[in-house]
Amino acid sequence: MQVTMTVNGTEVTRDVEPRLLLVHFLRETLGLTGTHWGCDTSNCGTCVVLVDGEPVKSCTQLAAMTAGHEVRTVEGMAAGGTLDPVQQGFMEEHGLQCGFCTPGMMLTARALLDRNPDPDEGEIREAISGQICRCTGYATIVRSIQWAAAHPAAETTDQEVRA
């Protein structure tokens, strides 16, 4: 069947099997491997993407169900060479070690801050409670999101990041 959806602002149309999960559509059909695929049982949250601005576990949604909707993946976080404040926060506060959970964590953080620009620690921990990090112990992830909340218009270009 044919599905059309908007991914990171670009409309895409592809022929897919109805059983294709959104996570595989993104990773394999579109080649957007920034979205990770872990437990495949809706538990770990590394596959989280935003669908119409809301965090969704893409291993538990069909590409077919997503047709007509707007998807945002980690590849769509930086705009015009400028990192999203959440991405910068994860750098500033060491919000990742191996990085496996990071795309899902950052997108959930983005959705949280869009809804609630000044969350307290409890609200941050609640928002990411459907996602597992095996490295950081969460403390630095919470601090990264707090950093992003405190710097809503952080300005760092790709150049500075690489430097």
Partner 1 sequence: MTAVTDKPRATRASAAGSSGKGCPVQVPAPFDYARATSVADALELLERHGPESHVIAGGHSLLPMMKLRLARPEWLIDINDVAELGHLTEEADVLRVGALTRHAALLDSDVVGRLFPIVHDAEKVIADPVVRNRGTIGGSLGQADPAEDLTTVCDVLRAQVVIVGPAGERVVDIGDFHRGPYETACEQNELITEVRFPIRARSSSAYEKVERRVGDWAVAAAGAAILLAEDGTFADVAIGLTALGLEGLATEAAAVLVGERPSEELLAEAGRLAAVASSPVEDQRGPVDYKRHLADELTRRVLRRSLERVGATAGALQGG
Ligand X SMILES: Cc1cc2nc3c(=O)[nH]c(=O)nc-3n(C[C@H](O)[C@H](O)[C@H](O)COP(=O)(O)OP(=O)(O)OC[C@H]3O[C@@H](n4cnc5c(N)ncnc54)[C@H](O)[C@@H]3O)c2cc1C
- Which residues lie near ligand FES (CB under 6 A)? 37-40, 42-47, 57, 59, 96-102, 133-136
CA-wise closest residue to 107 among 13, 14, 41, 8: 8
Residue number with CB closer to ligand X (6 or 43): 43
In the complex, the residues that contact partner 1 under the rule CB under 8 A are 1, 17-21, 24-25, 28-29, 40-43, 45, 48, 54-57, 60-62, 64-65, 67, 108, 126-127, 129-131
Q: Is 42 in the site for ligand X (CB under 6 A)?
A: yes
Is 129 among the residues that bind ligand X (CB under 6 A)? no
144 binds, among ligand FES, partner 1, ligand X, none (CB under 5 to 8 A by kind): none
Quick check: 43 binds ligand X (CB under 6 A)?
Answer: yes
Nearest distance from residue 15's CB to partner 1, in Å?
12
- What residues form DSSP beta bridges with 10? 7
Rounded to whole angstroms, how far apart are CA atoms 153 and 88? 10
Nearer to partner 1, 28 or 158 (CB): 28
For residue 35, which of 63, 14, 13, 16 has the smallest C-alpha distance?
63
Q: How many CB atoms lie within 10 A of CB 66?
A: 24
Residue 144, classed as helix, strand or coil, is: helix
What residue type is 152 in one-letter code?
Answer: P
Taking the CB of residue 39, how many other CB atoms lie within 10 A of it? 13
Tell me which of ligand FES, partner 1, ligand X, none is bound by residue 96, counting a contact when its beta carbon lies within the kind-specific cut-off of 5 to 8 angstroms. ligand FES
Q: How many residues bind ligand X (CB under 6 A)?
A: 2
Minimum CB–partner distance for residue 35 and partner 1 (Å): 13
Positive or negative CA dihedral for 36, 42, 48, 51? positive
